[in-house]
Amino acid sequence: MKESRERVEEGVTLVKQAWANPTLEFKSRFRPAMSGLPLLPPIYQKPHPPIWVACLLSPESFEWTAQEGYNLLYVAYHVDHAIAVERIGWYRDALRKHGRRIEDHEICCVYHAHFIERDDDERLQQIVHKPMSEYAAAGLEAARKPPDPTAYKGYEQRDAGQRKFEFESYFPGRVLMGGPKQAVERIRVLRDVGITQIGMLVDFGSLPQAEIMRSLEIFAGEILPHVRDL
């Protein structure tokens, strides 16, 4: 775990070198040496496809992502909206610091998403709270071994947020949920803080497939037409 940041940075360098030449020559600190490995098929986008880096809590991750000119992928459901805005701000500020234009970069945030026919918080809670609680419990189980406190500063805050998982703690500010009016307004708020793309986590916990499909139909018919051009 202490080497995770260095491993990620080297891994990105490895991938970029693999994309750059017909065969790969790479000496690694953490992996076996690679020599003469072909990349098939060759990449289409030049100089290479866009690179997205997932950041969570560490300011250093947001800083490095901006310094290298990569796009930001952020999962924000574990913190309140104001904290998510602050961390997105770390990335945007670092872009400016390193002489990069914010408008040339993408920020994608991932949110649990579920939509119902009209604004009705009580009905929404009846549908999503059990699956959301199951999702949070699975995350805590997967993270039973605590991360290195030096390399992963602040991760205890993430776990605390998942333990305190009442409906009021995540709705509306940590998710994209509700009736069409609520969803459109929430998307406008996200757009206004600099988020350029939204990833919707629609299949979580034991949420029934029929509910997922109904939610997606509501999104396509009642929400997307109002936000497509934001």
pLDDT in tens, 111-120: 999 999 999 9
pTM: 0.85
Structure tokens at 222: 């009642």
- Percent of the chain predicted with pLDDT > 90: 67
Residue 80 or residue 147, greater confidence: 80
Q: At 41, is the pLDDT very low, low, confident or very high (cuts 50, 70, 90)?
A: confident
Angstrom distance (rounded) from CA 42 to CA 63: 30
pLDDT band, very low/low/confident/very high, at 138 (cuts 50, 70, 90) = confident
Distances (CA, A) of 150 to 2, 16, 53, 86, 139: 8, 28, 20, 22, 21
pLDDT score recorded for residue 74 = 94
SS3 content of the chain, % helix, strand, coil (to 5): 50, 15, 35
Q: Give me the pLDDT at residue 183, please.
A: 98
Average pLDDT over residues 48-72: 94
Q: What is the distance of C-alpha 206 from the center of its chain?
A: 22
